[in-house]
Amino acid sequence: MIILTIIIFILILGLLVFVHELGHFVMAKRAGMEVEEFGFGFPPRLFGFKKGGTVYSLNWIPLGGFVKIVGEDGSDSDNPRSFGNKRFGSRFMVLVAGVTMNFILAWVLISLGLGLGLPTVIGDPAELSDSAKVREVHVSVVEIASDSPADQAGLRVGDSVLAINGEEIDTLEETAILAKNNAGLETLYTIKRGGEEFDRTLIPREDHPEDEGPIGVTVSTVARVAYPWYETLPRGLVATFNLLLSILSAFGVIISRLFAGQGVGADLAGPVGIAVLTRDVAQLGFIYLVQFTAVLSVNLAIINAIPFPALDGGRILFLIIEKVRGKKMRAKIEQVANTVGFVLLLLLMVLVTVKDFGRFDIIERVKNLFI
């Protein structure tokens, strides 16, 4: 499983970063800027060829891509095709293109999912559009409380509850009643995860936090909901925009926690956490991976839009300051700011990765990558 997880993780990360850099590349070419290299992966270089003044390279480290635009660091001030010598609008469009491409990728993926049948939490099926095709309706775990019986038994978000003590489950009410009636007793839960069915024994709690329930899960009715091809793009756009708002709201909560001195909780994951999530999602099936990749793409767009040095948002901020001042900022100032910002981002990644290993039994879950 470890090899498959690594391959899927690299493919997803590579796709997200490559599409982002492709946006910068296309807009730079359209603006008449001189692009030295457009690479897939990171050096050392495997091979490359030159066309139209640009080297197109394939590199050994398959984690995305990069674009080298002449003058993007403030140098080559005499070159009319350098980044710094183009008008404000052209430079702005180049910088914002990466974020835009990540949003478009999420839109395409969600639209694809809506055509194939996207896992969707549903209430009353009658509330869905007449054109919606609903199948595989089931009771699914959408949230698990830490250290709860469900968590200790190894249940995961996305698992379907098929039966409790051999009694088939069709509704949320049945799940709640059977959990309550078996409080304090060993109870056999039949679970489906992706294409695999298995049993887990756990003991529902008689005394439990009010917002957790006897076994510590939140369940919802989930179904695969598909739409005709001509509806997928407009519906996908609305869904992507709603996803954007939801993630922005989550970032707002994280920031408010930081200012309140409460830490970020479980809302922030680093590369290790995302790798573990990739394994979990891959076990649920292809369509869940499509949905997961769309979520990551919107996250990447939002993070890059933050006005912090070394990120696209930071470079856009410098560009706007330059426009307001009416004169170019000294290249050295921007270079130093971006270098410091890059170092701080690396430190943040290290801290988040360390945090990943200290929560949610992640060390044990990383070991399970090898199973």
Provide the residue-wise pLDDT of the chain in tens; the chain has 371 residues.
Answer: 678 888 888 899 889 999 999 999 999 999 999 999 999 888 889 999 999 889 999 998 887 788 999 988 776 677 888 988 899 999 999 999 999 999 999 999 999 999 999 988 887 555 678 888 988 888 999 889 888 999 989 898 889 999 999 989 888 888 888 988 998 899 999 999 987 899 999 999 988 887 788 999 889 988 899 999 999 999 999 999 999 999 898 888 777 776 666 555 555 666 777 877 888 888 888 999 999 999 999 999 999 999 998 899 999 999 999 888 887 777 778 788 888 888 988 888 777 777 766 654 545 554 454 44
- Residue 219 shares a structural domain with residue 318: no
Does 101 map to a domain? yes
Rounded-to-integer distance, Cα 318 and Cα 312, Å: 10
CA angle 125, 127, 133 (to 5 degrees): 50
Q: What is the pTM of this model?
A: 0.84
Distance CA 281, CA 288 (A): 6
Q: Let me know if residue 242 belongs to a domain.
A: no
Dump the DSSP string for 5-53. HHHHHHHHHHHHHHHHHHHHHHHHHHTT--EEEEEEEEEEEEEEEEETT
Choose the final residue of a domain: 193, 226, 259: 226
Please check whether residues 152 and 112 belong to one and the same domain: no
The total of other beta-carbon atoms located within 10 Å of residue 70's CB is 19
User: Which structural domain, as residue segments, surrounds residue 221?
Assistant: 133-226
Which residues face 202 on adjacent strands? 187
Q: Does 194 map to a domain?
A: yes
Number of domains within the chain = 2
Q: Are residues 62 and 145 in the same domain?
A: no
Same domain for 22 and 92, yes or no, is yes
Q: What is the Cα–Cα distance from 332 to 337, expressed in whole angstroms?
A: 9
* Helix spans in the chain (H): 2-30, 88-116, 149-152, 172-181, 229-259, 271-284, 286-305, 312-325, 331-357, 362-368
Q: 257 lies in a domain?
A: no
Q: Are residues 182 and 213 in the same domain?
A: yes
Q: Are both 192 and 221 inside the same structural domain? A: yes
Same domain, 105 and 150: no
Does residue 123 form part of some domain? no
Same domain, 101 and 6: yes
| Position 309 in a domain | yes
Given 192, 226, 260, the domain boundary residue is 226
- Catalytic residue positions? 21
Token pair, residue 338, equals 């971006």
Q: Which of 226, 248, 282 is the last residue before a domain boundary?
A: 226
Q: Are residues 89 and 138 in the same domain?
A: no
188 within a domain of the structure (yes/no): yes
CA proximity to 222, closest of 142, 129, 115, 109: 142
CATH of the domain at 143: 2.30.42.10
Q: Is residue 259 part of a domain?
A: no
Based on the fold, state whether residues 290 and 333 are members of the same structural domain. Answer: yes
